[in-house]
Structure 1
Amino acid sequence: MQRERIDSSEIIRRLKLEPHPEGGFFRETYRASGNVVREDERETRSASTAIYFLLCDGAHSAWHRIRSDEVWHFYAGDPIDVHVLKANGTLVTHRLGNALDRADAVFQTVVEAGDWFAAECHDREGVSLVGCTVAPGFEFSEFELAVPGTLEARYPQHRELIQRLNPEV
């Protein structure tokens, strides 16, 4: 099924997206007014947060991790691959896309707290609009961008993918 490409500049303008430090564009759309406290600490966090996230123009979401579970939701455009490195060295790639049009795609996937992950459009020239919901809510203080070289040393079997999606230094 051939469909019309979405216009990334129009999406950025209409959704009021800003550049994200890991790559792509985003805007927080929700922050719960209720708070939670993790069992292992005393600091409160918003119970949940949500963002729009857009990848386009060959950009990728560089390797990073957070301390909360993150649910990814597909909205529009081309499929996006979310690569997850599990602690045991397993690499799992989730393809987010229109699951009604593509048998290899899902509408939602979860990245568990503490897992390293990165994302890219399946077609490097693609444009993909997704959403991410984080619980407990996202805080930049809990965002860790991978230091180039550290993931390759820990997961040498995935060196090529890790290097390709490394953060800009």
Structure 2
Amino acid sequence: MTHPLVKKYNLEPHPEGGFYRQVFRSEHETTSYAHNQTRPALTHIYFLLLKGQVSRFHRVLHDEVWNHYEGAPLQLFQLENQQMWERRIGGGDNEYVEVVKAGNFQAAATMGEYSLVGCSVAPGFDFKDFSFIEEPSMQEWIKVAHPDLTRFI
């Protein structure tokens, strides 16, 4: 059975896990500082993770801002130069926003039945600027140093 929010917001499966829909793509373009190619100035998506789903470790070449909208708090992990940390957004004493710096690997999971968040990227998101952890040595490091996060690879 499909979650009601998937239908309400016309979401589709995302390659990293969960469901998404782009809700804004700036008509203004800019040149990326990462590779000098043209990108929209800003993009924004709805992103939904259901219980048992994860957003696999991936990186985007530009800064990404996550905002919590509804549902359970979201666990958001970041990996930068073999330093791993977790932030929770939404509910309780948590903030409702977290920034993932350009190039950091990130992964996420809901802490309940679901988490609906929004993700803004500037310069705007393009799948050409998106990648999973492909390096076997980095995958192995996560398995050894953070075995509880293996499900995010």
* TM-score, reference length from structure 2: 0.91
| Structure with the larger strand share | 2
- Over the aligned positions, Cα root-mean-square deviation in angstroms equals 2.0
Structure 1 residue runs without a partner (length 5+) = 1-7
State the one-letter code of the partner of 1:21: P
1:107-126 map, 5 Å: 107-123=96-112, 126=113
Match of 2:85 among 66, 88, 92: 92
In the TM superposition, residue 155 of structure 1 has moved relative to its aligned partner by 5.0
- Give runs of ≥4 in structure 1 deviating > 2 Å: 38-42, 147-159
Q: Give the conservation status (yes or no) of the 8 Å contact 2:133–2:139.
A: no
Structure 2 residue runs without a partner (length 5+) = none
Q: 1:26, 1:9 → 2: CA distance?
A: 13
Q: Note closer, same or farther for the CA distance 1:108–1:127 as it changes in structure 2 (3 Å cut).
A: same
Cross-structure match for 1:145: 132
Higher alpha-carbon deviation: 32-41 or 149-158: 149-158
In the TM superposition, residue 66 of structure 1 has moved relative to its aligned partner by 0.8
**Matched residue count:** 153
Q: 2:77, 2:144 → 1: CA distance?
A: 14
1:3-152 map, 5 Å: 9-39=3-33, 41-87=35-81, 89-98=82-91, 102-103=92-93, 105-123=94-112, 126-147=113-134, 149-152=136-139
Q: 2:110, 2:51 → 1: CA distance?
A: 10
Q: 2:126, 2:104 → 1: CA distance?
A: 16
Larger radius of gyration: 1
Verify: 1:160 aligned to 2:147, yes or no: yes
* TM-score, reference length from structure 1: 0.83
Identity %: 35
